[in-house]
Amino acid sequence: SAVISQKPSRDICQRGTSLTIQCQVDSQVTMMFWYRQQPGQSLTLIATANQGSEATYESGFVIDKFPISRPNLTFSTLTVSNMSPEDSSIYLCSVGGTGGLSNYGYTFGSGTRLTVV
């Protein structure tokens, strides 16, 4: 399965600022996924990022707030813009396994723990 390097692992940010989270995958993957996990909650999908096209956002998430880049098949970034304390969460990137998403399950990055003060 793929190995994902995600950074930063954690950050404390001032409200109104932006933070960019990076994920690097050790193999080429078609789709990358970005999730948010609010305290005590399960994972919520923010968007799906395909290389060479605009990301597809889930209901309740917009590009202006969470711009995503996908410049190649091994890298993606998620920016959390104009942050407020409500954005304090763990942010995770994920990829499906090679050889077909349905066959190899999902792999996750190590997570970014964001605290907005």
Partner 1 sequence: KQEVTQIPAALSVPEGENLVLNCSFTDSAIYNLQWFRQDPGKGLTSLLLIQSSQREQTSGRLNASLDKSSGRSTLYIAASQPGDSATYLCAVMGSGGSYIPTFGRGTSLIVHP
Least spacing, CB of residue 106 vs partner 1, in Å? 6
* Selection from 23, 70, 66, 29 nearest residue 46 by Cα: 66
> Could you say which residues in the range 59-88 bind partner 1, by CB under 8 A?
none
Least spacing, CB of residue 103 vs partner 1, in Å? 7
- Which residue among 11, 13, 20, 31 contacts partner 1 (CB under 8 A)? 31
- Gap between the Cα atoms of 19 and 13, Å rounded: 8
Cβ neighbourhood burial of 35 (10 Å; 0-12, 13-18, 19+)? buried
41 binds partner 1 (CB under 8 A): yes
Q: Contact, 26 vs 75, CB < 8 A?
A: no
Q: Please give the residue ranges that form the binding site for partner 1 (CB under 8 A).
A: 1, 6, 10, 31, 33, 41-43, 45, 48, 90, 92, 94, 96, 101-111, 113
